[in-house]
Amino acid sequence: MGSQQRGVTVWFTGLSGSGKSTISQALEQELRARGCRLEVLDGDIVRTNLTKGLGFSKADRDENIRRIGFVSHLLTRNGVIVLVSAISPYQAVRDEVRDRIDDFVEVYVSAPVEVCEDRDVKGLYKKARAGEIKGFTGIDDPYEPPINPEVECRTHEETLEESVNRVLVKLEEMGYVQMAPASASV
């Protein structure tokens, strides 16, 4: 990519098991194939490194998101595309991060809690239902859906490819990513 790449934070928010990391990983592959410079900040990985020691109280969750937002801001202003996958259940702190970063695309990865619970990739819903995890988002702690996200991916109604394409098209429209060269698929 000869031209100067614009930085942007693509923030995937949604319930546990909604498909945030899956879409982010597929988008990462597509953007790398296009020669984009990017970083991926996945909530689970960040918690073991950057935000170790924070719990799951509202204050700790907000602080977790602020720290991810701070790192995203630094990378974004240096021309890096940042893909963040974090439940980030509270609207106010997502808005705070958006205001700090400016170049920010919120992707609401929506799926009904029943669908996420059926997927239960990490077995967390089962533990929450059994009372082993307290304050679990979507069960006994709130999730505040974005009011006006740039993109909504309904993972219970569309394929992974459709979700990824939805985000890519928005990034192209907003000028963060160049259109892919026309291929044989018409």
**Residue 61, pLDDT score:** 84
pTM greater than 0.75: yes
**Residue 183, pLDDT score:** 56
**Residue 104, pLDDT score:** 97
Say yes or no to pLDDT of 186 above 70.
Answer: no
Catalytic residues: 88
CB 17 within 8 A of CB 123: no
Domains of the chain: 8-111+143-173 (3.40.50.300)
- The pLDDT confidence band at residue 83, using thresholds 50, 70 and 90, is very high
CB 83 within 8 A of CB 89: no
- The pLDDT confidence band at residue 94, using thresholds 50, 70 and 90, is very high
Q: 40 — phi, psi (to 5°)?
A: -115, 125
- The pLDDT confidence band at residue 59, using thresholds 50, 70 and 90, is confident
Cβ of 142: how many Cβ atoms within 10 Å? 11
Burial (CB < 10 A; 0-12, 13-18, 19+), residue 94, is buried
